[in-house]
């Protein structure tokens, strides 16, 4: 199912939630954050635009109860990709 369909009935039920690059990184964090319990992790798979999207959001992750993102880079077929990881610090 879709994250937004599960945000209310499954609120803070999971230790880990992940999604591929389906939306802007800020929107993606908003979709995933309600699903994850405090001290849980969120993971986004992002392509070349991911780092620019992080800059657009700036340091506003605390508004969602999230840590600053940890970024792991990897290359595949001449393209740059990133895993973006947050920890849920407080209820969303």
Which of 84, 86, 85 is closest to 62 using CA atoms? 86
Rounded Cα distance between 37 and 13, Å, is: 6
pLDDT digits (tens, 9 = 90+) for 9-27: 778 888 998 887 678 999 9
Please give the backbone phi and psi of residue 2, each rounded to the nearest 5 degrees, phi first: -90, 145
* Model confidence band, residue 80 (pLDDT cutoffs 50, 70, 90): confident
pTM of the model: 0.84
Q: How many CB atoms lie within 10 A of CB 60?
A: 11
pLDDT digits (tens, 9 = 90+) for 59-74: 899 988 999 999 999 8
């Amino acid at each position: 199912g879709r994250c937004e369909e599960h945000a209310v009935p499954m609120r803070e039920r999971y230790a880990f939630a992940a999604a591929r690059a389906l939306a802007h990184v800020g929107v993606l964090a908003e979709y995933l954050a309600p699903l994850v319990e405090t001290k849980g992790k969120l993971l986004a798979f992002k392509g070349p635009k991911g780092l620019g999207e992080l800059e657009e959001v700036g340091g506003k992750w605390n508004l969602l109860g999230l840590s600053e993102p940890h970024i792991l880079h990897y290359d595949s077929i001449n393209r740059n990709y990133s895993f973006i990881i947050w920890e849920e610090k407080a209820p969303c």
